[in-house]
């Protein structure tokens, strides 16, 4: 008897794919949303407003608009939490006038409730780096040890840079904060700076 004769009339075996119903996993779950206040600080003309504009809009505005008082911008970023779950950090980003007198008068209101800070200095101006210490000290006096990332901005102005790595380490090393070099004009490291701060905020709050 041939193999065909022996199997004729028998019910064909069913594979796993035939015997189990196909499960529709559906769309991925929405990330948990957390709202956090983020502040930028630093001297005038270091590019705080331009960094925010680059991050939020993806573009660079050649015209300079001086910040008067404080302005607020919003943008959400997705990051992985320590447990591996996706979190959406809804960032309320505050930009402050770069004058020490303004900081002294309004630092309590400006920094109150802040969960993270980008401390900005200008790579073409040594004074902006040295003065950053007072800004960070004013922050920590108000809200304590929250995540801070220092940004050396205007990296694109290569022929005018006067702040080297040794000077950065000497001034900011004792503060124990990470440093990124950025360019609001080209966008270099701008998104990485804001997302890196968001990760630090998430790690600190969990």
Residue 72's pLDDT is 87
Bridge partners (DSSP) of residue 122 are 153
Higher-confidence position of 129 and 31: 129
Residue 19's pLDDT is 53
Q: How is the chain split into domains, by residue range? A: 31-205
Taking only the tens place, the pLDDT of each residue in 25-54 is: 556 668 889 999 999 999 989 999 999 999
Residue 17's pLDDT is 46
Mean residue pLDDT of the chain comes to 84
> Structure tokens of 42?
């630093």
DSSP 3-state of 73: strand
Q: Please give the CATH superfamily to which domain 31-205 belongs.
A: P-loop containing nucleotide triphosphate hydrolases (3.40.50.300)
The count of other CB atoms within 10 Å of the CB of residue 179 is 18
Q: How far is 34 from 193, CA to CA, in rounded Å?
A: 19
Closest CA to 55 of 4, 120, 110, 140: 120
**Could you give the strand order of the β-sheet that contains 70-80, starting from the edge strand earlier in sequence?**
70-80, 86-96, 32-41, 114-122, 148-153, 179-181
166 half-sphere exposure, CB direction, 13 A CA radius: 1
Q: How confident is the model at residue 10 (pLDDT cuts 50, 70, 90)?
A: low
Model pTM? 0.80
The count of other CB atoms within 10 Å of the CB of residue 32 is 11
């Amino acid at each position: 008897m041939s193999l065909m004769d022996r199997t004729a009339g028998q019910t064909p075996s069913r594979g796993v794919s035939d015997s189990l119903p196909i499960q529709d996993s559906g769309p991925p779950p929405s990330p948990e949303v957390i709202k956090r206040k983020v502040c930028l600080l630093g001297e005038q003309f270091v590019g705080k407003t331009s960094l925010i504009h680059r991050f939020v809009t993806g573009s660079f505005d050649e015209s300079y608009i001086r910040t008067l008082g404080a302005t607020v911008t919003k943008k959400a970023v997705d990051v992985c939490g320590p447990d591996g779950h996706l979190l959406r950090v809804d960032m309320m980003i505050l930009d402050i006038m770069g004058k020490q007198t303004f900081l002294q008068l309004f630092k309590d209101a400006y920094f109150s409730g802040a969960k993270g800070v980008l401390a900005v200095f200008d790579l073409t101006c040594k004074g902006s780096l040295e003065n950053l210490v007072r800004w960070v000290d004013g922050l920590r006096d108000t809200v304590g040890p929250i995540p801070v990332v220092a940004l050396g901005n205007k990296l694109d102005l290569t022929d005018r840079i006067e702040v080297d790595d040794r000077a950065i380490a000497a001034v900011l090393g004792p503060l124990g904060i990470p440093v990124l070099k950025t360019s609001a004009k080209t966008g270099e490291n701008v998104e990485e700076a804001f997302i890196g701060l968001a990760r630090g905020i998430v790690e600190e709050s969990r």
